Chain A
Amino acid sequence: MSECDKCKRQLSAYIDNELGEDEKQKIISHIASCKGCKEILNGLTSVRDTLTTLPKHKTSPTFNTVLQAQLRREMRLEDPKPIQFLKGFFRVPAYAAMAVIFIAAGIFLDRSFFMEQTTRSAGIADITLQIEEAPVKDISEAEKTEDSRVLKNYVIVNEQFSSQEQNLSRRSSAADSDYQTTNRPSYPRSATGTSSRSQSGFRVQQASLETVEF
């Protein structure tokens, strides 16, 4: 490789001050005596200067707003769960625990719902009447079926209220409203609990998003 070829390869690094002292000195001494390489050096320097003086482009005024919207979507995708304040591995047990609580609460409320009816006059009067016609007499047999728990309750209720049958039809309209006001709140209450939790979870998310201001 000729001296000129070596020099030409190094010229940009020389312009950018990216050469070691020895290499730099070699280039300096070569261009002092080589007109061709000197011209190339000037040309490359000119290209470099042209590029460095180009105007700097900037992001548009809407850049941050767009990014913020995208981030909001990203955060939702990343963490769509209502209990997002729980981090990492605590999440799975937390959901499992919640599921157990809900199932247990469901069973409990379901039972207490019907048990409660036994102390009330004819809270589920017409339902009791319908069930009475069902051919379920033996509770142990009924337990084998899918709806055994429900049927069992109906049967219990049915048995306890069989003596009041005559009053039932008369009081059924009042009982309906009674049923709605006294028993239903147990379900909506749990439902409200879930949604408020989910809302509060979302609020946490939104609050953190509010801080993404550029």
Chain B
Amino acid sequence: MTNVTTKARKTQKPSDEELIKRFQDGELHAYNVIVNRYKDQLLNFAYRFLGNTEEAEDVVQETFLRLYRKRHAYRQIAKFSTWIYTIAGNLAKTELRKRKRRKIVSITDMGFEDKEYEIEDQSADASRKADSALTEKIIQEAIDELMPRFKEVIVLRDIQELSYEEIGKILNIPLGTVKSRVNRARIKLQSKLQDIKQSKTQMSE
């Protein structure tokens, strides 16, 4: 019986907190496991927050570099996922601010986005894929238009599916604020989605 329990424990995946502890003790393999465990979910988070794959990938790269650099700053009192999301979230917000400054400099790219909706493939499957891509594009556009404080809660809640408590810890805001922001973000998103859909319909007519 004891053997079975030990065996079961051995086959269990180590927790994030165990891994970071091992990494802090100098085990590089633990770092590799953390990277592989988090890279895709952080990429998805950063992508939905920024709406740009390259920038998102840079943010995730930088997040893991920070993890390497600041490994000893992590304390076991916090959940590791909260810590890593806080790092990624802050970097994503910084990236957004940088982009804002860049946009002020060059406004010449306006109107470029519309070209991406010109879908001409005739096959049924391609058409379905295109529809789905179009829907995703519209939703992403609506997310992009949200203010950062609404965007971050909605991405963490509805895309990363984190609890209100964890979101509060990541963003360092009270639970009541999380509740109200999630609610307001959804209301805003709903109205933006309707606006975008309407404008697309008008354009196609």
A54 interface residue per 8 A CB criterion: yes
* Inter-chain contact A16/B29, CB cutoff 8 Å: no
Looking at A5-13, A117-125, A140-148, the stretch in contact with chain B turns out to be A5-13
B154 interface residue per 8 A CB criterion: yes
A189 interface residue per 8 A CB criterion: no
Complex Cα distance, B182 from A163, in Å, reads 100
Q: Mark B147-180, 1 if CB is under 8 A from A, else 0.
A: 0000000100111010110000000000000011
Given contacts A59-B40, A70-B65, contact A212 B28 (CB under 8 A): yes
Which residues of the other chain, B, contact A50 by a CB distance below 8 angstroms? 139, 193
Where chain B touches its partner, the secondary structure class is helix
Which residue, of A54, A66, A74, A212, has the highest number of chain B Cβ atoms within 10 A? A54
Please tell me which one of the listed residues A13, A48, A59 contacts residue B43 in the complex, with CB atoms under 8 A apart: A59
B91 interface residue per 8 A CB criterion: no
* Inter-chain contact B159/A214, CB cutoff 8 Å: no
B88 interface residue per 8 A CB criterion: no
Q: Mark B36-67, 1 if CB is under 8 A from A, else 0.
A: 10011101100110000100110011001100
A60 interface residue per 8 A CB criterion: yes
Interface residues of A (CB under 8 A from B): 8-13, 16, 18, 40, 43-44, 46-48, 50-52, 54-60, 63-64, 66-67, 70-71, 74, 78, 208, 211-214
Some 17 contacts from A to B, beta carbons below 8 A apart, are: A9-B179, A10-B179, A10-B183, A12-B186, A40-B187, A47-B186, A47-B190, A51-B154, A52-B159, A56-B41, A57-B53, A67-B65, A78-B69, A208-B28, A211-B29, A211-B32, A212-B32
Q: A56-B41, A208-B28 are in contact. List 15 more A-B contacts (CB 8 A).
A: A9-B183, A13-B164, A44-B186, A44-B187, A46-B190, A54-B48, A54-B139, A56-B40, A60-B57, A66-B61, A67-B35, A74-B65, A74-B68, A212-B28, A212-B32
Which 7 pairs show the lowest CB-CB distances between chains A and B? A51-B158, A12-B183, A57-B47, A58-B40, A59-B43, A13-B179, A12-B182
